[in-house]
């Protein structure tokens, strides 16, 4: 999200994604120093692998939930639990063999939040809400009470499927977080993996999971 006076970057992507971000910034007539704040939805490596490099280039403030702060500072976050057969297998393999891949350059967050947080961003209403479930410190970013950037709280990488994520450490809490998102006025949701989707798809997925 960008404006003339304030630019937010939501998550930092994995290692090797810097050229892609440079291209996106250039199209928006921005450069790394124009980034004012980086909001971390959670501290898994695919979302923070390039954080240290982006922060060095931009000098931006880094904000995360306090439950993610220790992982960021250590540069490694445990694989979350699988929610289906295939992801349970991936979780087991990841825990045993892929722990090195999950490591990243440590970063100390500048701001650690514990509850809802509203930012002063000219021209925008920005609210950060805790949405635990995928991880204990997952957060979503609500823009103008219309659009939600949801990290891995929601997942939309498989066409025609539910937006239920294949990994989550606390399924009951995840459903409570979905309910919290549905209480906002957001009509469109941007997941960390997959394409944006409508409120209707979240409602259908929520009802299906709630009845299981």
| Tens of pLDDT, residues 88-116 | 545 555 555 455 567 899 999 999 999 99
| Tens of pLDDT, residues 46-74 | 999 999 999 999 999 999 999 999 999 99
Residue 1 is assigned to a structural domain of this protein: no
Residue 47 is assigned to a structural domain of this protein: yes
Give DSSP secondary structure letters for the chain.
Answer: -B-SS-BEEE---STT-HHHHHHHHHHTT--GGG--EEE-S---HHHHTTHHHHHHHH--EEEEEHHHHHHHHHTB-PPPPBSSHHHHHHHHHHHHH-TTTTB------SEEESS-EEEEETTEEEEEEE-TTSSTT-EEEEETTTEEEEETSS-B-STTS-S--SB-S-HHHHHHHHHHHHTS---EEEESSB--EEHHHHHHHHHHHHH-
CA distance 23 to 10: 16
pLDDT the model gives residue 157: 83
Residue 66 is assigned to a structural domain of this protein: yes
Task: Give the CATH number, domain containing residue 149.
Answer: 3.60.15.10
Average pLDDT over residues 76-82: 71
Residue 190 is assigned to a structural domain of this protein: yes
Residue 20 belongs to what domain range?
Answer: 8-211
Average pLDDT over residues 129-157: 96
Number of domains comprising the chain = 1
Query: In the predicted model, is pLDDT for residue 197 greater than 90?
Result: yes
Residue 2 is assigned to a structural domain of this protein: no
Task: State the chain's mean pLDDT as an integer.
Answer: 88
């Amino acid at each position: 999200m960008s404006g003339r006076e304030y630019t937010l970057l939501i998550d930092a992507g994995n290692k090797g994604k810097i050229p892609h971000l440079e291209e996106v910034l250039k199209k928006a007539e921005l450069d790394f120093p124009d980034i004012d704040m980086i909001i971390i939805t959670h501290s898994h490596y695919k979302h923070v692998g390039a954080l240290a490099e982006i922060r060095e280039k931009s000098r931006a403030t880094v904000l995360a939930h306090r439950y993610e702060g220790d992982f960021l500072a250590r540069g490694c976050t445990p694989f979350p639990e699988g929610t289906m057969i295939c992801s349970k297998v991936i979780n087991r393999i990841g825990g045993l063999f892929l722990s090195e891949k999950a490591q990243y350059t440590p970063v100390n967050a500048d701001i650690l939040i514990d509850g809802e947080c509203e930012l002063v961003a000219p021209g925008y209403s920005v609210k950060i809400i805790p949405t635990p479930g995928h991880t204990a410190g997952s957060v979503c970013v609500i823009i103008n009470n219309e659009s939600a950037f949801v990290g891995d709280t929601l997942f939309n990488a498989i066409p025609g499927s539910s937006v239920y994520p294949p990994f989550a450490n606390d399924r009951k809490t995840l459903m409570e977080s979905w309910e919290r998102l549905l209480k906002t006025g957001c009509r469109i949701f941007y997941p960390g993996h997959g394409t944006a989707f409508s409120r209707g798809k979240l409602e259908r997925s929520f009802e299906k999971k709630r009845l299981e």
